[in-house]
Amino acid sequence: MNPFRRKRLIRVLPDDRFEILFPEPITAMLAEYGRQLGQILDDDDPGLRRLFPSAYPDDPDLDAAYTILARSELADARRAEIAVLNDTVDAESVSRDELLSWMRVTNDLRLVLGTRLDVSEDDLEDEEGSPAHEVYHVLGLVLDEIVAALSSGLD
């Protein structure tokens, strides 16, 4: 056994389910931030620009038409993922599809927070300490755990 390997916080179960071993503060954080994200999906919040990127950056008229047609559908799909997370956040285990919802919500939360913090790959190491940066870091760890669990057995 590798002495540098840490214990995983999502354990793969034999029936293609996943046991969630996150401490309660992390699952509570996911649920609360997911709820907050669901509330702002229809807003003109600049933090959402990575969730709803411009489809036609060189043509404002086409982009506005696309936004009218697609934005609410994309927001509804995100709300459905948030609902799955909230419905399963206290469960001892989740299905693969439910864990995929957790992954998408966690990634969306990280994108929004990273946009608000103006985080880039270059300055991540220099921006530690603030509560928002700590949350960003925790979301990255949660995402890593989810991806590791979902990809186990794909070797």
Give the 3-state secondary structure of the chain. Answer: CCCCCCCCCEEECCCCEEEECCCHHHHHHHHHHHHHHHHHCCCCCHHHCCCCCCCCCCCHHHHHHHHHHHHHHHHHHHHHHHHHHHHHCCCCEEEHHHHHHHHHHHHHHHHHHHHHHCCCCCCCCCCCCCHHHHHHHHHHHHHHHHHHHHHCCCC
Give the predicted TM-score (pTM) of the model: 0.88
**Domain locations along the chain:** 10-151
Mean pLDDT in each 10-residue stretch from start to end of the chain (155 residues)?
70 94 96 97 92 92 90 95 97 97 98 91 63 94 96 72
